[in-house]
Amino acid sequence: MKNGMTLIVRVIARFVSPMIMVFGIYIILHGHLSPGGGFPGGVIIASAFVLLTLSFGKEIAYQKLKESTASVMESAGALIFLILATLGIVFGGWFFLNFLPKGEPFRLISAGFIPLCNIGIGLKVGGGIFAVFLTLILFRLLEKGEGD
């Protein structure tokens, strides 16, 4: 486990994980049109990172995406969401007002600021879930280091 799994798993994981990420981004961007949205998309993106971590071992994955980066992503996502909600007060006088033009239904650019909110939520959830995962496995790592 320390150096990851076998060659087959690594090759497949390297091949599959970009596709999983693209799928997650698709889910986030189409959140206002079809089932999905920020939360499922964020979880899917985080699961791509989890897959990489499991197949290549935690040390390598930890070098690629540090826990601090994940939690910065999380805070940034929450702030984007909050700023969008507050901009409603600036432009229309009400908190959470959908101040952007609504556009044509069933097109990608529609529904005002909801796609932007979904992006914020996706960042938050993806960062958050991956940070939780890393924190849990890193705790095991540190504990083992103490035991040896």
Partner 1 sequence: MTLIPLFMVIPLGSAFIVVLLGRFKETVSDVLATAATLMLAILPFALIIPLSQEGIFVYRMGRWIPPWGINLVLDGLSLLMLIIINLVAFLAILYSVSYMKKFTAKSTYYGLFLLMLAGMNGVVLSGDFFNLFVFLEIAAIASYALVAFGVEAEELEASFKYMVMGSVASVLILFSIGLIYSLTGSLNMAHVGTILQGQKGNLISFSMILFLAGFGLKAAIMPFHAWLPDAHPSAPAPISAMLSGVLIKALGVYAILRIFFNVFGMNIQLSWILMILGALSMVGGGLLALKQNDFKRLLAYSSISQIGLIMLGVGCGNYWGILGALFHLFNHASFKALLFLNSGAVEYSTGTRELKKMGGLSKAMPFTGATSAIGSLSISGIPPLNGFWSKLFIIMGLIYAGRYVLGVITILVSVLTLAYYLKVQRYAFFGKLGEGLEKVKEAPPLMCASMVALAIICIGAGIFFYPIMKIILEPAVRVLQEGVGYSSLVLGG
Partner 2 sequence: MMFFLCFVLFLIGLYCVLIKKNLLKIVMGIVIMEYSVNLFLITVGYKAGAVAPIVTEGAGKVSFVDPLPQALVITAIVIGIATLALIVALCMRVYDRYKTFDITKIRRLRG
For the CB of residue 9, give the shortest distance to partner 2 in the complex, in Å.
25
Q: How far apart are CA 52 and CA 35, in angstroms?
A: 26
Whole-Å CA distances, 143 to 53, 57, 58, 111, 136: 18, 17, 14, 49, 11
By CB under 8 A, is residue 56 in contact with partner 2?
Answer: no
Residue-by-residue DSSP string for 121-143:
HHHHHHHHHHHHHHHHHHHHHHH
The residue (of 86 and 135) whose beta carbon lies closer to partner 2 is: 135
The residue (of 13 and 27) whose beta carbon lies closer to partner 2 is: 27
Tokens 């952007």: give the residue.
100
Residues 28/118, Cβ–Cβ less than 8 Å: yes
The residue (of 13 and 45) whose beta carbon lies closer to partner 2 is: 45
Residues that bind partner 1 (CB under 8 A): 68, 71-72, 75-76, 78-79, 82, 85-86, 88-89, 92-98
Give the gyration radius of the chain's Cα atoms: 18
The residue (of 21 and 114) whose beta carbon lies closer to partner 1 is: 114
Per-residue string for binding with partner 2, 25-54, x by CB under 8 A?
A: ---------xx---x---------------
- Binding residues vs partner 2 (CB under 8 A): 34-35, 39, 105-106, 125, 129, 132, 135-136, 139-140, 143
